[in-house]
Structure 1
């Protein structure tokens, strides 16, 4: 028995030597493990600190952009017809021929010198349907001694860049979808047309006599015919541009009293004829 015990102890010592030391030496690895853990923890902490700093920086940039961004009213309108100017400049492409097209006002609003701050009702013919509120494409032309009408057009079509302001009035007694009124006497209505400085879309809900755009050119009187159509001289109108006019009674005809509505079925009132230029 003593011999067997001695052999067992000798075997135990041999096993310890094979693994580089006694079992009591295992504790020497703890400092190295702690060092690795500290490095990992420090790395994670640094990552979270950097992440938070980046998040704060992005949030600050977004907040600054929100309050200092360029006014959308001043943003550039990009040309959707890329390369067409260059294409047609070579005169090697023969374009198709198109008839004049009708461009109805993007909006029509009334202003009054008698009530300088008044904003007239907008979209008066809107109605409630099963799908919500619908706005028909009706445009109101109302011109009296105290009421002027401002119309604005958006020229979109490329190569149709010659525009002629046109006015069409119904016959007396004509059946119309909306009530209308014309001067009681005479067959001609004299209207004063003034071109406005409207290079950007106008804000209908802010438009009044006090906030109206400046008149940059008086186009002279337009002698509108009751039951007929009158067209002014065509002028250049670049694709993508906005043009607008103020319509009022002339001094020699202060009681012009025109009140008609334009709709998608019958083009009464004022609109633009666009003619091909390429």
Structure 2
């Protein structure tokens, strides 16, 4: 608005000068009168050009100031919004493993808090390990994690790697099974182990296998140090192998979406169980049965 008023005042000044040049002495078309008219016309033209020039310069300067002010304001606002989000403008790398696990069943707790709401009945579900590691601790400073084969076998409850169904425990090798608790309202969990007749064992001597619960507040990546250093939090019990069938049943509390990690180890004796063949519904090794709680 200031620029517009200034421009209008300049135009008015130009029109006033033009009007002044129009008021001339017509009494004499020759001699001094004609020279006077030429002088007035030249002077007014110079003033008009000078006004137009400085008006243009001022307009350009004001426009540049407006552009610089806009860019500064936008930059400040952008950095402020990034700071609120806990990010910086130039570095946006986020550790995915550090992000909280989002509950996929938001609102169901409030829905089922109404005791009069109808509740559907669900059969127990079997949950196979999401991760299954064999860790060689013969070198405490540099434990080795077994690699996963690319061949997999599709079963009823998802894909399970064929090599991951191999279960090995020795005084220096432990097996770590990690489960992601499925579904909502299925928080009665039981840890089980299945050695079906289709499996083979490298030993006939009974080995006592200890079970420890390990701390897992997030998905543990395939990192030797983190796998080896995750602390034990609870001794769950023990069971004997090789015994065909499921001779392990340890109940524990679980929560939808959480991670549960268990260590299988042995102080004395060694055992390695591998499936010779696996049917579509077979679950070999450790698994979790979840029962309905709502």
Q: Assess if the C-alpha contact under 8 Å between 1:168 and 1:225 holds in 2.
A: no
SS at match of 2:112: helix
Alignment partner, residue 194 of structure 1: 212
Alignment of 1:1-278 (within 5 A): 21-22=21-22, 24=42, 25-50=44-69, 52-53=71-72, 58=78, 64=88, 71-116=95-140, 117-126=142-151, 137-138=160-161, 139-140=164-165, 141-171=167-197, 174=198, 181-185=200-204, 189-204=207-222, 206-207=223-224, 211-224=228-241, 226-249=243-266, 251=267, 254-260=268-274, 265=280, 266-278=282-294
Shift of 1:54: 5.3
Q: Assess if the C-alpha contact under 8 Å between 1:164 and 1:231 holds in 2.
A: no
Q: Assess if the C-alpha contact under 8 Å between 1:168 and 1:269 holds in 2.
A: yes
Q: Could you tell me the TM-score, scaled by structure 2's length?
A: 0.70
Q: Deviations for 1:199-223, whole angstroms, at most 9, x for unmatched residues?
A: 111111x135973311110011123
Shift of 1:68: 8.5
Structure 1 pair 226/142, CA: closer, same or farther in 2 (3 Å)? same
Shift of 1:183: 4.7
SS at match of 2:47: helix
Shift of 1:88: 1.1
Q: Tell me, in whole angstroms, the C-alpha distance in 2 between the residues paired with 1:52 and 1:263.
A: 65
Q: Deviations for 1:102-152, whole angstroms, at most 9, x for unmatched residues?
A: 11111111112212213323322359xxxxxxxx63124321232101111
Q: Assess if the C-alpha contact under 8 Å between 2:135 and 2:146 holds in 1.
A: no
SS at match of 1:122: coil
**Structure 2 unmatched runs, 5+:** 1-16, 23-40, 153-158
Q: Assess if the C-alpha contact under 8 Å between 1:120 and 1:208 holds in 2.
A: no
SS at match of 2:244: coil
Shift of 1:53: 3.8
Higher relative contact order (CA 8 A, sep 6+): 1
Structure 1 pair 210/236, CA: closer, same or farther in 2 (3 Å)? closer
Shift of 1:225: 5.6
**Structure 1 unmatched runs, 5+:** 1-16, 128-135, 175-179
Shift of 1:227: 2.6
Q: Tell me, in whole angstroms, the C-alpha distance in 1 between the residues paired with 2:227 and 2:114.
A: 48
SS at match of 1:93: coil
Q: Tell me, in whole angstroms, the C-alpha distance in 1 between the residues paired with 2:46 and 2:122.
A: 94
